[in-house]
């Protein structure tokens, strides 16, 4: 098949936290601070389970780990406080926080006329993209405000494909979290894991960062 035709059909869907920027470290610090109020010391290992998961579900997981309960009002207040602390970090972000290989890879996609969307569970995704100067680059953005069911439900990726007017079978998802990889696969898409092969077992291929990828890799993956 002629490459040019294939490119026009292809679309890339990017997770934000862990793929474009490392906001996980800020989520972790904010959750850790919150949990310390209940004398619970959230570990980095436990934090792995919060990646790609919505704010509400993250708090539910932490409360379970801490064997702690909150009233409905206190739960909502905790979500708000955590988000305020997280936003204190976000407000200090700039383009220096873009992860290795991202800027060049997005340029490569543009040069090859491959459309791409953000597909992030974060309700702060647009704000973060503005801070790092990438907001204008994306052809579409789907974030935590647009979905009812969070990853591993496929809703977010299905919505992103729809926004790009692309068949789900022509989409390649870029994900760093187990829940996100599962969501991509359930949407019937190819998934490139960013991170550790041992963790992202369900991904079609796993790379350390976007620097390792070429357009040919995307083409090969889609034709599998």
Catalytic residue numbers read: 15, 17
Peptide linkage before 152 cis (omega within 30 of 0): yes
**Spatial distance between the Cα atoms of 188 and 62, rounded to a whole number of angstroms:** 31
Q: Is 18 in the site for Mg ion (CB under 5 A)?
A: yes
Q: In the set 53, 99, 134, 207, which binds ligand B16 (CB under 6 A)?
A: 53
Q: Report if residue 178 touches ligand B16, rule: CB under 6 A.
A: no
Which of 177, 189, 194, 213 is close enough to bind Mg ion by CB under 5 A? 177
Does the footprint of ligand B16 cover residue 54 (CB under 6 A)? yes
Cβ proximity to Mg ion, 7 vs 180, nearer residue: 180
Site residues (CB under 6 A) for ligand B16, limited to 33-52: 50-52
Binding mask 41-70 vs Mg ion (x if CB under 5 A, - otherwise)? -----------x------------------
SS3 call for 174: strand
Contact assessment for residue 115 and residue 164, using Cβ atoms and an 8 Å cutoff: yes
State how far the Cα of 30 lies from the Cα of 73, in Å rounded to an integer: 19
Residue 157 contacts residue 168 (beta carbons within 8 Å): yes
For residues 74-133, which are near ligand B16 according to CB under 6 A? Answer: 83, 120-124
Task: Compare residues 175 and 204 and give the one whose CB is closer to Mg ion.
Answer: 175
Q: How far is the CB of 139 from ligand B16 (least distance, A)?
A: 17
DSSP tag of 99: P
Which of 8, 89 has the CB closer to ligand B16? Answer: 89
SS3 state at 185: helix
In this chain, which of 10, 11, 12, 15 binds Mg ion, going by CB under 5 A?
15
Of positions 46, 58, 117, 168, contacts ligand B16 by CB under 6 A = 58
Terminal alpha carbon distance of the chain = 13
Binding range to Mg ion, per CB under 5 A, among 104-112, 142-150, 151-159, 177-185: 177-185
- What are the residues whose beta carbons fall under 8 Å from the beta carbon of 50, sequence distance 6 or more? 27, 28, 31, 58, 61, 62
Dihedral sign from CA coordinates of 52, 58, 62, 64? negative
Alpha carbons 103 and 107: distance in angstroms, whole number: 6
Binding region for Mg ion (CB under 5 A)? 15, 17-18, 52, 176-177
Binding stretches for ligand B16 (CB under 6 A) = 15-18, 24, 27, 50-55, 58, 83, 120-124, 144, 177
């Amino acid at each position: 098949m002629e490459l040019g035709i294939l490119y026009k059909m292809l679309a890339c869907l990017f997770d934000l936290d862990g793929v474009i920027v490392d906001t996980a470290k800020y989520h972790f610090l904010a959750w850790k601070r919150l949990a310390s109020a209940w004398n619970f010391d959230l570990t980095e290992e436990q934090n792995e389970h919060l990646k790609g998961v919505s704010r509400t579900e993250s708090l539910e997981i932490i409360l379970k780990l801490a064997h702690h309960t909150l009233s409905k009002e206190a739960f909502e207040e905790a979500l708000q406080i955590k988000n305020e602390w997280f936003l204190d970090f976000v407000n200090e972000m700039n383009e220096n926080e873009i992860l290795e290989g991202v800027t060049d890879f997005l340029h490569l996609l543009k040069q090859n006329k491959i459309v791409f969307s953000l597909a992030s569970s974060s309700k702060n995704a647009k704000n973060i993209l503005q801070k790092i100067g990438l907001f204008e680059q994306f052809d579409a953005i789907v974030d935590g405000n647009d979905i009812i069911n969070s990853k591993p439900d496929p809703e977010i990726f299905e919505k992103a494909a729809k926004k790009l007017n692309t068949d789900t079978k022509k989409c390649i998802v870029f994900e760093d979290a187990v829940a996100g990889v599962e969501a991509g696969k359930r949407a019937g898409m190819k998934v490139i894991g960013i991170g550790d092969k041992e963790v992202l077992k369900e991904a079609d291929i796993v790379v350390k960062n976007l620097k390792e990828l070429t357009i040919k890799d995307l083409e090969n993956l889609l034709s599998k």
